[in-house]
Amino acid sequence: MKPSPLSAEELEALRQLDACTVANAIETFHERLRNEGFANGTVRCLFPQLGTMLGYAATVKIRGSSPPTADGPFPDRTDWFDYIQSLPSPRVVVVQDAAARVGLGSLLGAVHMNILHALGCVGAVTNGSVRDLPAAQDLGFKLFTGSVAVSHAYIHIIEFGGPVEIAGLKIHSGDLLHGDQHGFQNIPLDIARRVPEAAARILEQEQTLIALCRSREFSLEKLRAAVAGQRS
């Protein structure tokens, strides 16, 4: 059975954590390998000053580097808006660009970002491109992207709600995504409520070691003892 959506308080507890601490906490549950569950460096956070992005994934696939066989652009779709609203909030739109020339054109510009924001989305993730950066920043719309583009080219949605892959991370509809200036990752839903408590223990251990390293009483013997005590 799929876990129920997190409460506002539970979401806020996760939002207060930086991505590195979240990753460390997830490791303690041994649910996945340490080299899984997070995106690689090919996608970057454009506005780290906007803080942590946290939300349930609304997955979309697009193409747009090649024109349609008929004259004019591809027709716009609005059916994916209903899909987005069927997910728990807050939401993060995850756009996989499956075009031959990834990132040539952008789905995510001023208009779509405002539409998505109105639909309860706090940000977006894409292996492709985004544009209209001042509009995103003014809106507080968090962006994780592979590139920045000038045009929408021939962008069109080919499917939504299915699995996608962004920067080496496989993402399914409804996955809980967390991201900041370090990158983004998937928080397994069955342990999400326990991550803040695990993170607090890790932070306490880290601060103990850091305090020792900054102390006038520091010595290699004390460091080894402290490290050994945390491993026991």
Residue 72 confidence (pLDDT): 66
- Please state, for a pLDDT cut of 90, what percent of the chain lies above it: 87
| Residue 217 lies inside a defined structural domain of this protein | no
How far is the first Cα of the chain from the last one, in angstroms, to the nearest whole number? 35
For 137, other C-beta atoms within 10 Å of its C-beta total 15
pLDDT class of 69 with cuts at 50, 70, 90 = low
Residue 68 confidence (pLDDT): 73
| Residue 96 lies inside a defined structural domain of this protein | yes
pLDDT class of 202 with cuts at 50, 70, 90 = very high
Q: Which residues constitute the domain of residue 156?
A: 37-187
Please give the average per-residue pLDDT across 91-112, as a whole number: 95
| Residue 75 lies inside a defined structural domain of this protein | yes
Q: What is the pLDDT of residues 107-159, one digit of tens each?
A: 999 999 999 999 999 999 999 999 999 999 999 999 999 999 999 899 999 99
- Identify residue 178 by its one-letter amino acid code: H
| Residue 48 lies inside a defined structural domain of this protein | yes
CB 71 within 8 A of CB 161: no
| Residue 224 lies inside a defined structural domain of this protein | no
What CATH number is given to the structural domain containing 110?
3.50.30.40
CB 89 within 8 A of CB 120: yes
| Residue 87 lies inside a defined structural domain of this protein | yes
pLDDT class of 62 with cuts at 50, 70, 90 = very high
Q: Given a cut of 80, is residue 75 above it in pLDDT?
A: no
Q: What is the pLDDT of residues 7-45, one digit of tens each?
A: 999 999 999 999 999 999 999 999 999 999 999 999 999
Q: Given a cut of 80, is residue 203 above it in pLDDT?
A: yes
What is the DSSP track for 196-215? HHHHHHHHHHHHHHHHHHHS
| Residue 222 lies inside a defined structural domain of this protein | no
| Residue 212 lies inside a defined structural domain of this protein | no
Q: What is the pLDDT of residues 155-179, one digit of tens each?
A: 999 999 999 999 999 999 999 999 9
Q: Specify the number of domains making up the chain.
A: 1
